[in-house]
Structure 1
């Protein structure tokens, strides 16, 4: 009786999935600020001013 052995071809698949995980992690890091200092973005005071005006008739 023959047995199927599929343990040899998964190395490339694991490499591709790992590379995609790294790309997503780096992309998220860059997208959300890319700050590596101690405390991250929580120590930075940010001020946002929003002014909304309706069009005058």
Structure 2
């Protein structure tokens, strides 16, 4: 993730968005927080994973 952020910054992008499926495991959200992402919102029951409907967490990080 760090290399992706560096590449996006070098390319002149302004903001990075993450859409994380909520499957009951917060490790992905914790990883993004460690890299400077903050929660921007939540979409309920918009994905279907492992036989059930799941929410997604939206996170964002400024790059400038």
Larger proportion of strand: 2
Tell me if both proteins adopt one fold, taking TM over 0.5 as the criterion. no
Q: Of the two, which has the highest radius of gyration? A: 1
Larger proportion of helix: 1
TM-score by length of 2: 0.25
TM-score by length of 1: 0.28
Q: Which of the pair has the greater relative contact order for Cα pairs under 8 Å at 6+ separation? A: 2
